[in-house]
Amino acid sequence: MTLTDDQLVEVVREAIDLEVNGQRFYERATAVTRSKTGKKVFRRLAEEEVGHLDEIGRIFTAITGSGDWKKIAERRIAGDAPSTVVEQLEAAIAARGGELESVDEAEALRLAMNMERRAIRLYEGLRDRTPDPKVRALAERLVDEERFHYDLLQAQADSLMNVGIWLDKPEFRMDGKY
């Protein structure tokens, strides 16, 4: 089954929301994480979410032939509604007494991993159901990047849970490329 242009535009709108919310979440996670290295990881992921908006813009432009995606993204970015994952992080903070120092970094990693899984599923669906080879290639690139984010977060969670430290400069690359 392939998607119609209207359905593709709706998927792209959802992708814009996902990336904007991802950026907000990673910025908030940066603020509440105690570890300097953890802050660096979340800050980098927030910056990469901004780059994903450009990728999504290319998909939107390929579908519609217009740059209207920028208006949609600007409205989403300017919107006052907090993202669901930021709300979940705030709830975790409140459950621990409302003190930033009491935030469980593992909880932030868990929420981030759930968000990345959702992004992977969204972009895989777009890739698998679009008839446009250009859109398919861009969606595949986003799938790869979101998988990289997930794998990075999983490695961080494993390290934090097993040895209590954040990874800084790994001896290897997570994407398998040397």
- Global pTM exceeds 0.85: no
Domains of the chain and any CATH numbers: 5-163 (1.20.1260.10)
Residue type, 106: A
Alpha helices in 33-132 (DSSP H): 36-64, 69-78, 84-95, 105-129
Q: What is the pLDDT of residues 71-115, one digit of tens each?
A: 766 776 666 555 554 565 566 656 655 554 445 677 788 888 988
